[in-house]
Amino acid sequence: MLIIGHRGARGYAPENTLRSFKKAVGLGAQGVELDVHLSKDKKLIVIHDNDVSRTTRGKGLVSQITLEEIKKIDAGSGERIPTLEEVIDLLAGKNILLNIELKGLGTVVPAVKLIEQKRITNQVVISSFLYNKLRIAKNLNPKIKTGILIRKLPRRLADFLKLAKTHHADGFHIRHNFLKKKYLAAAHQNNLYIWAWTVNSSREIKKFKSWGVDGLITNYPDRAL
């Protein structure tokens, strides 16, 4: 089972910063999850929200701020908001899986191009709540794995499985409190993987390990390990 650090090691360092990703790797995480938006000058920026105010000392929409301006913002403990390229370069050669969640408009094409340029196709999973982004990514490069993000499961198993088929996805990233064993079993029977997010308590970690979940996204990689 893969242990994936949520926005790095969010429980220990400012989320989606190089420090957080380094911390996750140092704690033994086999992968990291991160979020991507586009800046005003069309650079791939690693930040969860479309507004910088929650996670930094800055203000404004990411899409209305240039990279140069973004780099002046304190993201916590003196950290700066990284670009996707900086995160990739940080983790290059470390055998760490990158779960890139595409959030902002216009992110999918430049993200796929960067993945190909850096030659890390086999090291990446692209996920999103915007499923059309997953289809576009697959069309651009069928070798890139994609995961459907789900907050709440469809009532019918058939509808659940149809999501993966419709959007050409390889698996699901499911909010942990909605995951059910029968959905996990159905996914595995159809060669689809399941990751649970965001799993932080020892009790939940043990439960999902016993279920045979393929991956856990957590703020505390050391607890899961």
Q: Which residues are part of the catalytic machinery?
A: 6, 48
DSSP code for 87: H
Q: For residue 141, is it left (φ>0), alpha (ψ between -120 and 50) or beta?
A: beta
Closest of 35, 26, 31 to residue 3, by C-alpha: 31
Enter the tokens of residue 187.
């996914």
| CA–CA gap between residue 146 and residue 131 (Å, rounded) | 10
Q: For residue 84, is it left (φ>0), alpha (ψ between -120 and 50) or beta?
A: alpha
- For residue 27, the SS3 value is coil
Is 152 exposed, middle or buried, given 0-12, 13-18 or 19+ CB atoms closer than 10 A?
exposed
